[in-house]
């Protein structure tokens, strides 16, 4: 008969085996191993929607040069820089090609970097030549901030799928437009006295007070979208979706040429709607195993 082996002796032999073979995983190491985040069918679908929204801005900007109103405003913006109008045409061709690449391919690092450089470059140039655009009520420059967030989110989605950082980046990017709108309202969106007087005809009390009140509500919704959770956050995001939809509709009746404005006051609402909808619906990160 074989002599019984004690539990202590078995543990001692396992310890010697693990020392002799350092490549052998310990039980704790196996238990702590998790699945590396990666794209899922859900995250790929979200990425495609975000890709389409972002590409729409580049494509619309590139095609806008075909309209005389676009060329008129574009030439006026190039004049302080001493640049001829043909620069605008070349830039629009490049933006159209960029839009096609964004729409049809994954967000490679070089593509994300190129878009970030272009968005930041345009913003810096316009800040130097027309700083009042930061206060525009339709967010001519402030909407560039959520576009940058979408670029980052897409770059992460194509590699890792959804994770906590990606989800937070999307929500923060969508919230920033409401925070900046509240800040712009403090300065009455840079409106002149004559513009305020025309606005006064549509409000029953002081127009300046009304603008600051609306701006305060916008900023509060941005904070709420970041701070709240669950149903309360979804209600806030639903209200934001309604506003993001209503603004282009109303503005289209007031001035349809805004759709061919070179700085995209209405076209940039499209990716904002997509991003806000995904945040409202809720992302589905991969489960750990």
Range of the domain at 60: 39-281
Answer whether residue 31 shows pLDDT above 50. Answer: no
pLDDT at 36: 60
**Residue 24 is assigned to a structural domain of this protein:** no
Average pLDDT over residues 133-156: 96
**Residue 246 is assigned to a structural domain of this protein:** yes
**Residue 227 is assigned to a structural domain of this protein:** yes
**Residue 164 is assigned to a structural domain of this protein:** yes
pLDDT averaged over every residue in the chain:
88
**Residue 30 is assigned to a structural domain of this protein:** no
pLDDT at 285: 59
Pairwise pLDDT comparison (274 vs 282), residue with the higher score: 274
Counting Cα atoms < 13 Å in the Cβ hemisphere of 197 gives: 3
Return the top range by mean pLDDT from 32-41, 52-61, 73-82: 52-61
**Residue 67 is assigned to a structural domain of this protein:** yes
| Range from 15-24, 34-43, 145-154 carrying the lowest mean pLDDT | 15-24
Could you tell me which of 53, 91, 86, 49 has the C-alpha nearest to residue 262? 91
The tens digit of pLDDT for each residue in 179-213 reads 999 999 989 998 888 888 888 888 888 989 999 99
pTM: 0.84
**Residue 1 is assigned to a structural domain of this protein:** no
Look at the chain and report how many structural domains it folds into. Answer: 1
Query: Residue 282's pLDDT band (boundaries 50, 70, 90)?
Result: confident
Q: Are 225 and 236 in contact (CB under 8 A)?
A: yes
């Amino acid at each position: 008969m074989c002599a019984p082996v004690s539990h202590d002796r078995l543990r001692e032999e396992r310890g010697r085996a693990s020392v002799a073979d350092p490549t052998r995983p310990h039980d704790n190491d196996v238990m702590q191993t998790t699945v590396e985040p990666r794209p899922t069918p859900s995250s790929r679908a979200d990425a495609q929607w975000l890709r389409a929204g972002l590409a729409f801005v580049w494509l619309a900007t590139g095609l806008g040069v075909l309209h005389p109103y676009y060329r008129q405003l574009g030439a006026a913006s190039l004049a302080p820089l001493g640049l001829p109008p043909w620069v605008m045409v070349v830039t629009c061709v490049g933006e159209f090609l960029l839009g096609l690449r964004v729409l049809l391919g994954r967000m490679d690092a070089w593509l994300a970097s190129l878009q970030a450089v272009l968005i930041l470059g345009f913003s810096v140039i316009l800040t130097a030549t027309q700083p009042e655009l930061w206060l525009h009520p339709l967010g001519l420059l402030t909407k560039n901030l959520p576009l940058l967030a979408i670029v980052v989110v897409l770059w992460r989605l194509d590699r890792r799928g959804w994770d906590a950082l990606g989800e937070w980046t999307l929500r923060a990017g969508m919230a920033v437009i409401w925070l900046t709108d509240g800040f712009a309202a403090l300065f009455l969106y840079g409106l002149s006295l004559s513009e305020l007087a025309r606005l006064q005809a549509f409000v029953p009390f002081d127009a300046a007070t009304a603008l600051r009140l609306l701006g305060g509500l916008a900023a509060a919704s941005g904070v709420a979208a970041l701070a709240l959770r669950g149903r309360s956050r979804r209600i806030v995001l639903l209200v934001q979706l309604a506003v993001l939809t209503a603004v282009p509709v109303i503005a289209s009746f007031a001035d349809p040429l805004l759709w061919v404005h070179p700085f995209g006051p209405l076209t940039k609402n499209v990716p904002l709607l997509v991003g806000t909808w995904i945040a409202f619906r809720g992302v589905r990160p991969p489960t750990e195993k």
